[in-house]
Every structure is written in structure tokens, then in C-alpha cells.
Structure 1
């Protein structure tokens, strides 16, 4: 029998496991599991530690710290420049890029514009053709004046009813302080609706809308062209203006020329003024035409001041946001036609 001195080497059948326990039954070693260190996450300690290290770094390398700060500022500026607006747009155009199919009236190609002349103020829609149902200027207070407004509305509806590709726009802003914040355009649309669209509701109502910012006849035309672009995604192939017959020269020659629209694609549908006001209307129209001949864009002098008075509620004009291709035309002010390129020229 071999004897082994006490405390000498361990028998070969029982290998030494200095950091384990031995299972006598299985003959295997049992490893002891170390207790993990405290793994609790301490964000404030981490932030404090990072801050201390950063402070120490900046004391040693102040120039490097300045460069890091400048880089951070530049990065933030670039991020906000790209994503600071709802659509990341540029050049003042606030609408998102839209595809042709995204426009609600993309299949319509011709514009029919009815120029507004007054605001309907009556609470009773049954008095549409009564002068006291409209807010009238002193020169408009003539018997039968209200009926001429209704005639314009009717004429516009009839023209659109005969053209399946036409969009009808009633144009005119909130031009009368005492009439309240009601636009001429909304007044005309409401009258058309009350009249049942003169029997053409099914074919016309769905494509009859408003342009509610124009303050004079030139803006009736220009703003309606921009509004057409907002709704269809394109500019009109043909334009028809509905108004008083004595204003045809103003629209068909002066205003059309000012926006450079082709004469062959521009039409005017005129209805007569009241017989007792015709002489005064013709005299006044001659004066206005002379003013527009000198100032085709109504951007200075008496025409400009008149527009300011026709904006009693200081409405912000959204154009040319909806028609960026003619932004230059909106900004132009001169005695000669706009020299830049236009989508329809």
C-alpha cells in the first residue's frame, strides 16, 4: 500500500482545482460562479464623468474645443435648413412637390373667370336681385345694379356648362370694411348655389371654386391664373373673362398684354350695365384705362393706393406660392410688358 505524506501532492485520480469544488459522486469539478459587479446603470455619473473629461480636454486644447463647437453649430444649421419647414422647400415656395395626379382638377384645361364687383350681405338668400342685399359703393347704387351681378354669375355658369374641360373661378377679395370679412368671390359662389346653379348644378358645381384675394381687375386675372395652377397643376390653355361689356378693352388688351397671354386664346364675355348708369360707367372706365396704360401692373400711384384701400382687413396674399413659374411676373413693376419668360408664351 502506498502511503502519501499528509499535505504533499494530490493523488492523480483527484486533480487539483484551485478555484473549484469537486463533486465526489460525479467525479467532476464544479466551477464557482463569480458574483458580478454591481451593473446598475448610472446615467448621471456617466454624464458627470464625461463632463469632467471634456472640461479637462478643453483646458488642455482650447483651440480644438472651439473647432468642435463650430462644427456642431454648422451641422445643426444644415439640418434645420433641410428639415426646418414642413416640406424642406426652397425659394419661398411652400407647397410640397406634387405629382400630376395629386391635383384635384388636373383634367381641366380652360379657365373661366367671373370678376366680382360687390359683396352679398343679406341674411335672406331670397333677395339676391335686390340692391339692399349687397354692399354697394355710391356709384353702384342704381336700380337694377344687383341684377347685373347675378347676370355675370349666370353667364359664367352657362359658359362652363358648355365646356367639359373648363374650371369656373369667382374672383374677388374682402374689399369692403363695412361688409365684414366676406369676399366677393364667396358671395358670388353662394348666390350661384342659392340659384341652383341655374339648372346646371350637376355639371358645374363640382368645378366651380373661388379666388379670394384680388383687389382690382388686373389681380382678378393674374390671381385667377395662379389659382388655376394651384388646382390643376398646369396653366390654362384658354382664358375666358366674364364682366361688364364696357370693360372688355381693359381686360382683353391691357391686362392680357400685361401678363403676356396669347390673344388667340383669350376671350371676353360681356354683359351690359344698367341703362341709367351706362354713361357714368363709360366715363369712369376711360379714366381707369388711362391709369392702367401708364401703370399696367397697378403697382404705384393711384392704382396702388386704391388696392390698399380695398384690403381693409390686411389679408396676406399667398401668391405666387402656388405658381412659382411666374414669380417674376408677380414682382415686376414697370411701364412696359414683363420681359421674362412665361409658361404660355
Structure 2
């Protein structure tokens, strides 16, 4: 009787391989060479070939390596630039109608000169403002109010105008209060000089400027943030003796068309006029030598007017003129500017 007759499993007499009848030994089948390849061996093989190629063509290999390295740097630079640009334009990826003041086309900028520190509403008194030693003259506070009122009245006559009070947190002892917010608060306390209904909703602030050039440049950028475009016309409100500085030096520095730039000057107090004219002559000569206020005494003065080290957000809101913000030279900025 065959006990294995019903066993369906195949019986293997010897393990897998070839049996040598003469020697009585089992010959194992060799593994394919490809199956023995290891990543480390592959790398070592590549390195040997690379070394051999280098010995034959050293200059060619150097040139190929240099080209590869330059290509990597270019790719990284382009990626970084794209990433930065996307961040710059992220806030601005809006339709024109999505900007809060898209229907306004003209800029009226009131340049700040001091910080209002009182809470009693006595805006015409000198002790209600933080004044530097050169500002401590009778009637000085009234000149600040005159600037505010002048800006409000100009905007009240132009339905397409945006009013910006400009000036940063420039006085350490006055605390973290900006000149721009001070002027807005004074206008509010005065009921917008009987123009509240027509002006208040389109009166805002630019709270980072540290000198007169930044008053103008930063306000142009702030206008772009709020309207989605650059101003068709610009009107600056300040002291009458600063007209030459704003209308010629600063306007020329940003190459804004003269035919669309206007200046509204109000007089200094009678007790400070002589000293003011002398000081203005000095500052004007400094801006003639350094139109962008980016070096020397003008730069040091600017740093001194930033006691709280505020980070300036511009030109994030106006990327089309970012190169203008970085420019520092005696000649006018030579690049493209998007003025309409």
C-alpha cells in the first residue's frame, strides 16, 4: 500500500539548486549581479567615475560644476524674489472697488509739527502741545490749528479728495502718540470746523513720517493703500515759508508733475517768524545736497525722531515705487514712476 498516493504536496528530494552527481555536493545557483547592487556601492562607483573624468577633463568638469552652482543660486534667488513679491502684493490683490476709498482721486496732506498732549480740549494753548525749545513761542499752538482747519476746508470743497494728517511718534517725552493722530483728534474736538458730515469720513492718518520729505512720500503711499491708485493731484498744507521746500525740492525728488502739485501755506506766529526763516534756510540747503534725506545730518535727525523704533510698513502698500524708497542719491531718481 502506497501511503503517499493521496498526498498532493510535491516532494523535493534536495534543496533548491543543482546537485553534482560526481562530487555528491549541492551547487548553489549564483545571484544576478544586479541584485547585489547597494546604494553605497552605486555612490562609490559614481565617485570613481567622476574622479576618472576629472583626471581626463579637469577644466570641463570645473566649468560644469560652476554652471550648476550658478544655476542653483539663480533658482534660489528667483524663488526668494517671487516669495517676497507675493507677500508684497498679497494685501493688494484686490479689485479697485474693494478699496475703501476707491472713488477718491486727489490727496490733501497736512504735515504735522507737534504732538497734542492735553485732554481738556484747549487746543489753542501752548501747554496743550509738546513743544521743542525752538517752538516755544506765543501763538505757536494756534498755527497748528490753522493747518488742520486749512486742510479740512480744502477737502470740504473737493468731493474727490482724501485728507491725510501725516506725522509719526516723534517725541519721546510726549509718549507713543503720533502727530497725525494729534491733528485728527484736534479736528474732531473742533467738530471739523462745521464740515464734519462731508469731511470726517474721508480724513485719515499717516503715522510714520519723520521729516517733511517723508510726509510727502509716505502720504502718497498711504493714498495708494486706501484708494488702489496714486493721486491725480496733490495739495500740501504747512507753513508758508516751507513752500519752496515742498513744492520744488520734495516734489522734484519724487518727480511728481508740477502742474498737479499745489501748496497751501499759512503764516508762522509773529514771535517765531525770524527764527523760523533762518532755520528753514539751513534745512533747505541740506535737502538741496541730500534730496532724499538719506545721509548726514538729515539722516541723523530722522533717526532722532523715531524714539520708539517703529517699523515702517512702506513700501508694502505701494510696491510700484519700492525702488524709490530705496534710492539715495543727489540726482533725481532715474527709475519708472507710475504717476498718472
- TM-score with structure 2 setting the length: 0.76
Pair 1:106 & 2:102 matched: yes
State how far apart, in whole Å, the 1-side matches of 2:136 and 2:294 are: 29
Is the Cα contact below 8 Å between 2:111 and 2:236 reproduced in 1? yes
Q: C-alpha distance in 2, partners of 1:90/1:120?
A: 39
Q: Which residue of 1 aligns with 2:12?
A: none
Give per-residue Cα distances to partners, 1:304-324, cap 9 Å, x unaligned. 000000000000000000001
CA deviation string 1:122-147 (max 9, x = no partner): 1212x111100000000000001000
Shift in alpha-carbon separation, 1:64–1:141, aligned structure 2, 3 A: farther
Name the SS of the counterpart of 1:337 in structure 2.
coil
TM-superposed deviation, 1:93: 4.4
Flag structure 2 segments of 5+ consecutive residues without an equivalent: 1-34, 44-71
What SS does the aligned partner of 2:86 have? coil
Aligned pair partner of 2:316 in 317, 321, 339: 321
Q: CA deviation at 1:276?
A: 1.0
Q: Identify unmatched segments of 5+ residues in structure 1.
A: 1-56, 66-73
The question of 1:344 aligning with 2:339 is answered yes
Name the Cα RMSD after superposition.
2.5
Match of 1:251 in 2: 246
Q: Which of 305, 308, 311 matches 1:310?
A: 305
| Cα offset, 1:191, TM superposition | 0.4
Of structures 1 and 2, the larger Rg is shown by 1
Deviation at 1:92, TM superposition (A): 4.4
Q: Deviations over 1:311-338 (max 9, x none)?
A: 0000000000000110111000000100
Pairwise mapping of residues 264-303 of structure 1 onto structure 2 (< 5 A)? Answer: 264-303=259-298
Following TM superposition, by how much is the alpha carbon of 1:62 offset from its aligned partner in structure 2, in angstroms? Answer: 4.9
The 5-angstrom pairing of residues 17-96 of structure 1 reads: 60-62=38-40, 89-90=85-86, 92-96=88-92
Q: 1:121 aligns to what?
A: 117
CA distance in structure 1 between the aligned counterparts of 2:324 and 2:250, rounded to whole angstroms: 13
Distance (whole Å) between structure 2 residues aligned to residue 89 and residue 261 of structure 1: 25
Q: The residue matched to 2:124 in structure 1 has which SS?
A: coil
Q: How much does 1:341 deviate?
A: 1.0
| 2:227 is the counterpart of 1:232 | yes
Aligned equivalent of 2:93: 97
TM-score where L is the length of structure 1 = 0.75
Aligned-pair CA distance for 1:102: 1.0
1:188 corresponds, among 172, 177, 183, to 183
8 A contact 1:89–1:95 mirrored in 2: no
1:202 matched to 2:180? The reply is: no
| Mapped partners of 1:124, 1:209: distance in 2 | 23
Alpha-carbon distance in structure 2 between the residues aligned to 1:163 and 1:94: 32
Give the CA deviation at 1:60: 3.9
Which residue number corresponds to residue 19 of structure 1? none
**Matched residues in 2 for 1:282 and 1:130: separation?**
23
CA distance in 2, matches of 1:118, 1:329: 27
